[in-house]
Amino acid sequence: MPGKVAKIGTFSDWVGLFDEWRKEIGVNRDEIAEFKFDTLYGAIETEEIQFGHFKSRRKWENLRLIPTQQMRDALLNMIVYQGDTEFASVEQQRHLFETAPTDWDRRAITRVMIEEMRHGWQMCALLIEHFGYSGKVEAQKMLERRAFENKRLLGAFNVDVDNWMDFFTYTDFVDRDGKFQLQMLKYSAFAPLGRSMSYMLREEAFHMGTGNDGLRRIVEAGVIPAWLIQKYLNKWISSSYDLFGTDHSSSAHWAYVWGIKGRYDEPKNDRQADLDDLNDYN
């Protein structure tokens, strides 16, 4: 599909590209092909913005309500990066179906992949519904980048997940970072983004549990030597920390000031945010 010129006029057009993408990367197996993907929205805790410069004002239901173009661009960028990681993780894990240690593990990776695809679907639905032409372009590009061509936006999502030790460590720790990122977006002043997080967070919990259970079974079996297990822990834990972002990040600073992305414990945290240390805190 990369290199094709395809204009997205509607979300249905994008779904056609999504179907092509699944076939092209080799994950359109029966269990996945039969799944009915959907856009899911949950409730948000409050209709009021919970932090930042616009705190206590009503949350924004559409882009016209967001005060500045700079804020709209930052929001679009946040959604693009989140969606890109979801599709990337499927590409990273695409070769593991046939080597699943047990039938349970095969069912688990199928569910993980379906849910990661649904998360990417959700982000693209937001882009197409709310961001006009720019959103359609970004939603299309999300299905044109490839992790195995080193084209995904974040380096950790261009690394192949080659085996099940890799997979279990990845889902235990990289998806743990994902949980924190989704939790921070749950409090977004852009209400459709906040509403998208409830189902995504529930699904992410299964991914972490899959990784944690897999690592537990490996350790209990006592077959893989400790030095090799440590190698995979070093690989993915360091990547997970990197995904939180850099110290003194201006992007994190302004995302908080503008109400786009909060702290993971925002409703319970009554301390004033240290805007220069948000990534380290989270």
Query: Domains of the chain by range and CATH?
Result: 11-46+80-244 (1.10.620.20)
Q: State the pLDDT at residue 247.
A: 64
List pLDDT tens digits, range 125-150: 999 999 999 999 999 999 999 999 99
pLDDT, position 271:
81
Q: What is the pLDDT of residue 282?
A: 53
Residue with tokens 């786009």: 260
pLDDT at 26: 95
Q: How many other C-beta atoms lie within 10 A of the C-beta of residue 107?
A: 12
pLDDT score at 5? 47
- What is the rounded average pLDDT of the residues 257-276? 85
pTM, rounded to two decimals: 0.93
- What is the reported pLDDT for 244? 80
Percent of the chain clearing pLDDT 90 (strictly above): 83
Mean pLDDT of the residues in the chain: 92
pLDDT for res 232: 97
Position 257 confidence tier, pLDDT thresholds 50, 70, 90: very high
Six-digit token pair at 100?
């699943």
Express each pLDDT in 242-252 by its tens digit: 888 766 678 88
